[in-house]
Amino acid sequence: MEFGIFDHLDNESRPFEQYYQERLKVIELFDRFGFHSYHLAEHHATTLGMAPSPNVFLSAVAQRTKQLRFGPMVYALPLYHPLRLAEEIGMVDQMSGGRLDIGFGRGSSPVEISYFGIDPAKTEEIFQRDQPRILEALETGVLRVAEQEEPYRDIVLKILPLQKPTPRVWYGVHTVESAERAARRGWQTINLDKTDEARECNLVFRDVWRQTQGDAPLPLMGLGRFIVVAETDEKALEIARRAYPAWHRGFTHLFRVLGRMARHPRPDNWDELARQGKAIAGSPATVAAFLGDQLATSLCNYCVGQFAFGDLTLAEMETSVTLFAKEVMPVLRKVNVTAEAA
């Protein structure tokens, strides 16, 4: 069992300089306590998007940590020219000593894509075209852009990643089809859905992995959950119920401004989110029991916590992460999520 972090980097009211410094202090804690990787979302023109350029923030993370891996979950690929993104990936991986993880997506918000003058209907086409060419360029050192005129079709990269053949690739899984796709390509996954849905995906992933990857060890298969840990259940619930609505306002900001429906609805209150099994607030014992059951049931071997969100204070985040690392992680390391458990 490994442990990671998912972060939207949302901020509704803190002064920006204070906000970034506080978040980097929390990330230093992740590094100190041996978390595996820090996964950062990309959003634009919303309070959910304090990392509109993930690589800028991740460069700061690289300098403030020593062992923690980190990366985008995911780059909104339609917003990048493949040459710039390939070069930046090489830069950050080299500057971090080979600790960059990468993930690519179409962009979860059509509204944000539209702000860049890009037709959301074309994002699938762009993704299918550019993701393979970027991965090929990172491995071979040559970016092939067939639609450009000569001599601009084959571009030799002068900055390559330290990791070979490429940095590790992560993929967000929501369906059995996406699970199969990830297994065939040897990618690591994160699932944010309900436990039974994650289990269905992981069963398919394990089966396809055995068929296509042979005896290679299973990669990390993550289960993402909002997590608040405090000394007592009552205190943790009080904090979570106060902090979560601020995150939700950021999550729905652009949809409310433009009068549209959110593509991936989330409840507007903590209790409903917890009822869906997507969040836990409690004492270390309560959190360990909840997550242990979910990880065993879902067959996930990677517990991904969203520990920093909404209006949580620095002290609340530091307490939550410290209690989780010292009292919850040792319990969860014993959870059986082996193939035999399937």
pLDDT of residue 254: 87
pLDDT band, very low/low/confident/very high, at 193 (cuts 50, 70, 90): very high
Question: Which tokens hold the place of 317?
Answer: 């985040």
Mean pLDDT of the chain: 95
**Are 148 and 179 contained in the same domain?**
no
Angstrom distance (rounded) from CA 286 to CA 298 = 18
Angle between helices 233-258 and 314-323 (to 10 degrees): 120
Query: What φ, ψ does residue 333 adopt, rounded to 5°?
Result: -60, -20
**Are 278 and 196 contained in the same domain?**
yes
Query: What φ, ψ does residue 144 adopt, rounded to 5°?
Result: -100, 115
pLDDT > 90? residue 159: yes
**Are 225 and 310 contained in the same domain?**
yes
**Are 196 and 250 contained in the same domain?**
yes
How far, in Å, are 124, 135, 159, 163, 168 from residue 144 at the CA level?
Answer: 19, 11, 15, 21, 21
Query: According to DSSP H, which parts of 141-278 are helical?
Result: 176-185, 195-213, 233-258, 270-275
**Are 147 and 214 contained in the same domain?**
no
Q: Which of 103-107, 143-147, 214-218, 281-285 shows the highest mean pLDDT?
A: 281-285
For 83, the domain range is 74-168
pLDDT > 60? residue 341: no
pLDDT of residue 33: 98
pLDDT > 70? residue 263: no
pLDDT of residue 184: 97
User: Residue 324 has what DSSP assignment?
Assistant: I
**Are 188 and 51 contained in the same domain?**
yes
- The answer to whether 92 touches 58, Cβ cutoff 8 Å, is yes
**Are 188 and 205 contained in the same domain?**
yes
The answer for residues whose C-beta is within 8 angstroms of residue 132's C-beta and 6 or more apart is: none
pLDDT of residue 339: 53
pLDDT band, very low/low/confident/very high, at 165 (cuts 50, 70, 90): very high
Query: What φ, ψ does residue 33 adopt, rounded to 5°?
Result: -90, 5
**How big is the chain by its Cα radius of gyration, in Å?**
20
Among 168, 203, 218, identify where a domain stops.
168
pLDDT of residue 262: 66
Write the burial class of residue 24 (CB in 10 Å: 0-12 exposed, 13-18 middle, 19+ buried).
middle
- The answer to whether 321 touches 29, Cβ cutoff 8 Å, is yes
Per the structure, the count of domains in the chain is 2
Please report, for the domain that includes residue 245, its CATH number. 3.20.20.30
**Are 133 and 193 contained in the same domain?**
no
Angstrom distance (rounded) from CA 37 to CA 329 = 15
pLDDT band, very low/low/confident/very high, at 162 (cuts 50, 70, 90): very high
Tens of pLDDT, residue by residue over 137-155, are 999 999 999 887 788 889 9
Question: Which tokens hold the place of 143?
Answer: 């970016």
Tens of pLDDT, residue by residue over 42-92, are 999 999 999 999 999 999 999 999 999 999 999 999 999 999 999 999 999
